[in-house]
Every structure is written in structure tokens, then in C-alpha cells.
Amino acid sequence: MEAALARLPEGEPARVVDVGTGTGAIALCLASERAEAEVWATDVSEDALALARENAEANGLSERVSFAQGDLFGGVAGVFDVIVSNPPYVAETEREEMDADVLDWEPELALFAGEDGLSVISRLVPEAKSRLKPGGSFLCEIGYRQGPEVVEIFKANGFTDVGIIKDLGSRDRVVHGTA
């Protein structure tokens, strides 16, 4: 979250989209921290968007965030200054390692992305590159074992200044790059 905020200039208008918003936590936080930003939240799941809308209403942010249902950037037009995403990234082969509470609570659609966990990210990265303004930033949450592979996907799609942000456990958690 802090990394996304750092890429948004304070006091200046910016377009931001949270792809795969789920409950809307990231989009709502960005909207609350940057009142001048135009914030979009997309998700393939109408149920997830309904919950995100409820959360926006509960936090007094329903006028600050626009919601669109669709795959990846479906339902949103134009280019953005910052794109953030917490896409499905769990490999089917990791299912056995997952905590039962996560499997019972989270929809499979929000978790699993093919045998290697990269099927959504592999589609998302090139589309994100085409939807960013020159110099714009893309931040994508990843599985802790996927850092080097996702860095290569970013580089292969023309991103520069590609790096990895570690989580509190010092595991790879977010790959970021500049268009």
C-alpha cells in the first residue's frame, strides 16, 4: 500500500485502478489517502464488487471510487498513472500447503491461477503495460516463490525499474515496474 501511495503525487490528480479488487481494501485506502485521485476498482466477480461497494459506503468513500465488473481491465477505459493488483497467484500444486481457513473462506477464483500460479499474471502484465501512461507504475502482488519469474515477465513486456518488495516475513510479495 505504501509503495502505491509513494507513486501517487500528493495534491495532483491521478488515475488509479485496482485490478481484481476483491473487498476493495486497496482501492478504498488509496481513495481515502489521495482525495484528488480518480480511483477505479475492477473485479470479475459481481459478488466481490458488491462487497467492495458495501465497504466503500461504510467508509464514506462510495463517491470516490468507481467500480467495474470484468476480466482484468474490463469495464474501464483509458490509461492510468498507477495500476495495482492482487490477482489470483496460487499454483494448483500449492493447494495442499494452504491453510484450511483460507480455502474455506476465499473463493477459488480469487486464489488459484493454473498449475504454476502465473496464468492471470501472464495476461495481466502486458495489458497493464498498455494501460499505463509513460512513466506510470504497476504493482502486482505475487506468491513468495514467484519473484524471479514475474520479474522476467515484467521485463519481457517492456517495464523498466523492475523490483521486488518483500513482506514482513522477508519473502517476495510485490513486483513493481515503470512503463
pLDDT the model gives residue 8: 76
pLDDT the model gives residue 20: 94
Region for residue 73 given its phi and psi (left: phi exceeds 0; alpha: psi -120 to 50; beta: otherwise): alpha
pLDDT the model gives residue 12: 79
Give the model confidence (pLDDT) of 42-53 as tens digits: 999 999 999 999
pLDDT the model gives residue 153: 97
- The model's pTM: 0.90
pLDDT the model gives residue 131: 97
Rounded to a whole number, what is the distance in angstroms from the first to the last CA of the chain?
19
Residues in the chain predicted with pLDDT less than 70, given as ranges, are 1, 5, 89-92, 94-114
Could you give the number of structural domains in the chain?
A: 1
Separation CA 18–CA 40 (nearest Å)? 6
Helix, strand, coil shares of the chain, percent, nearest 5, are 35, 30, 35
Domain holding 23, by residue range, is 2-178
Q: CATH number of the domain at 114, please.
A: 3.40.50.150
Separation CA 105–CA 47 (nearest Å)? 14
